[in-house]
Chains A and B, each alone.
Chain A
Amino acid sequence: KQEVTQIPAALSVPEGENLVLNCSFTDSAIYNLQWFRQDPGKGLTSLLLIQSSQREQTSGRLNASLDKSSGRSTLYIAASQPGDSATYLCAVMGSGTYKYIFGTGTRLKVLA
């Protein structure tokens, strides 16, 4: 049974810092992995999608990497801003299924 863990659970950083959020999963037979952002009481906004055959994806200040064999993905946020404050969720889609298994998220606060 796939389990997804995110570390750290919470993170508080000063504005301008580069930071790394971690996601690990127990079953490496995945189809893809998607990173989402969730603002308090709001929906899920897709940030980056990485297919199982890819090693990384980039969008603006965000870069996500995938190491399927070790069951890990990282989300790198460059030059963090207060507007980046949110919960970041990692979700893994296993092979042979089209459902996502979500991690518990990393709650990020960027201080001005």
Chain B
Amino acid sequence: EPEVTQTPSHQVTQMGQEVILRCVPISNHLYFYWYRQILGQKVEFLVSFYNNEISEKSEIFDDQFSVERPDGSNFTLKIRSTKLEDSAMYFCASSGTNSAGGEGYTFGSGTRLTVV
């Protein structure tokens, strides 16, 4: 069964450093997403991406965050100048061969980011 692949599985970074989280969505999917889950809290939407641009973003997704699809397979989330409160599990998801959400999402296994 097709999978969404995320790397690395764990990342520890110093406060103030930049991190890039990587995702390889399912190859024929058209819509891509990032979510995060702070320990013990709900899974929260960050951003959706379609046709090489952001289609929707949450209040959490401020100027510190950016997304990019640098080639035909990867989808990245960059966090500039990380803060302690950015520590969370970050999930990538993809959907939609024809429509964005009609087929539901497939999530990756997540990247656990720890900011120290």
Interface residues of A (CB under 8 A from B): 31-32, 34, 36, 41-46, 49, 51, 89, 91, 93, 97-105
Contact B45–A101 (Cβ < 8 Å) = yes
Contact A102–B42 (Cβ < 8 Å) = yes
Question: Nearest 8 pairs between A and B by C-beta?
Answer: A43-B109, A98-B100, A49-B104, A44-B107, A102-B43, A98-B101, A99-B45, A43-B110
Contacts of A49 in B (CB 8 A): 103-104
Interface residues of B (CB under 8 A from A): 31, 33, 35, 41-45, 48, 55-56, 58, 89, 91, 95-96, 100-110, 112
**Chain A at the B interface: mostly helix, strand, loop or mixed?**
strand
> Shortest Cβ distance from A34 into chain B, in angstroms?
5
> Shortest Cβ distance from A50 into chain B, in angstroms?
9
Contact B43–A42 (Cβ < 8 Å) = no
Give Cα A91 to B102, complex, Å.
14
Contacts of B58 in A (CB 8 A): 99
Partner of A43, one of B33, B55, B102, B107: B107
Give Cα A7 to B95, complex, Å.
28
Contact A31–B43 (Cβ < 8 Å) = no
Contact A46–B43 (Cβ < 8 Å) = no
Closest to A97 in B: B56
Contact B91–A44 (Cβ < 8 Å) = yes
